[in-house]
Structure 1
C-alpha cells in the first residue's frame, strides 16, 4: 500500500506501524471509506450486500442454502470470490475458518475466528491468523452489536482500533 505522505521519523516521536495487509492490498486505502451493510430479509439464502455511500455494490456475501456445512463466500462487485468462510461443526465457541477464494484447502487458510466466550450479550470474537497455531493470544479482537449497528476491530488484546463499522 502506498501512502501519498510518509512522515519522517523524529527522535521524539516513534513512527506508527504500517498497516498489515491480510487479504490483499487492493482492499486497503490510506483513508477511511464509508460502507453500508444491507441484509436481505425475505430470501431463502443468507445474503448481504456491502455498498459505498453512492449505493454502488462493493462486496456481496453469498450464504449456503440447504447444505450440511454452513459456509459463506465474500465476492467483489464483479462476482469474483475473495474469501470462503466455513463454520466448523461441533465446536463450543462457534468457530469459523476463512480461506482464499473458494478454496477450503488448509494451505489457503487465512484466519480462524471464534466467540471469545460461550455466553455473550454483545458479539466478541477472537481472530487468529493462519500462522498463529498456538492461539494463546488473538491477532485481532472484534467487538460489536447488530442492535447498535456498530463493530470495532482491535489489534490483538489492545485498545488500538484498526477498523470500525
Structure 2
C-alpha cells in the first residue's frame, strides 16, 4: 500500500455537494449496530454527538439498496449493488433516484478475492474506468482504511477503530473517520457504507 501523505487541497472536491466541503478537517463518529436488520443500522455524528447522517436499508424483490439521509431523514444518495457482476460493484445515485442521469459515482473491488480492502471509485463522467478517481486501501476488519485521491498517495480521509464500554455492552461497532479540508464528507460516508456492505458479505 502506498505511504499516505497529507497534502491540503485548495480546491473543493465535491462529489455529492459543495455544502459538504469545509475548509478544515472534520471528525465523524460512525456507530454501526452489529445485529441491525432494519432501518438505522448506521448513525453518523460529529464529535459533539450531533447526528449528521443516517443509513436506511430497503429490500425489494431480489434487490437491496441503502439510502443515506440527513438527520431529518431526507434522502441524500441511494446506494445500489449491481447484480450479476464479477466484482462487488456499487452505483450511487443522487437522492432517491435510480435514473442513470443521476449517477454520481461507481465503486468496485479491485479483484474478486481480497485479503485486504481495495476499492476503486470512478466518478460518473469517468466512463472508461482506466484510472480511478479515488481508491480505498487498508484493513476493514481492523477498521483501518485510507482513502486516496486518484491513483496517488494523497490522503483525503482515513478511518480508525474506537472501542468503548458502550460499544462492547450494547453490541455496537464504533469507529472514527477523519475527512481532510475541502473534501466532500457525505461522499466519504457513502464509501464507508459500501465498504461495510461488501465486507459483510464476507462475514467481516
The two structures have a TM-score, normalised by structure 2, of 0.69
* Structure 1 gap ranges (5+): 1-14
In the TM superposition, what are the counterparts of 1:6-21 in structure 2 within 5 Å? 17-21=10-14
Report the equivalent of 1:25. Answer: 18
CA distance in 1, matches of 2:26, 2:91: 26
Q: Indicate if the aligned counterparts of 2:89 and 2:106 stay in contact, CA closer than 8 A.
A: yes
Higher relative contact order (CA 8 A, sep 6+): 2
1:113 is the counterpart of 2:116: no
Question: CA–CA distance in 1 between the matches of 2:92 and 2:58?
Answer: 15
Task: Specify the structure having the higher radius of gyration (Cα).
Answer: 1
Tell me which protein shows more helix as a share of its residues. Answer: 2
Q: 1:105, CA displacement in angstroms?
A: 0.1
Aligned length: 151
Distance 1:68 1:33, change over 3 A: same
Tell me, what secondary structure is at the counterpart of 2:19? Answer: helix
**CA displacement at 1:91 relative to structure 2:** 0.5
1:64 aligns with 2:58: yes
Per the normalisation by structure 1, the TM-score is: 0.85
Partner of 2:188: none
Provide the aligned C-alpha RMSD in A: 1.7
Q: What is the rounded CA distance, in whole Å, between the counterparts of 1:37 and 1:116 in structure 2?
A: 25
Deviations 1:74-128 (A, max 9, x none): 0011111111000000101111000000000000000001001111122110000
CA offset digits 1:134-161 (Å, max 9, x no partner): 0111110012333222222111110011
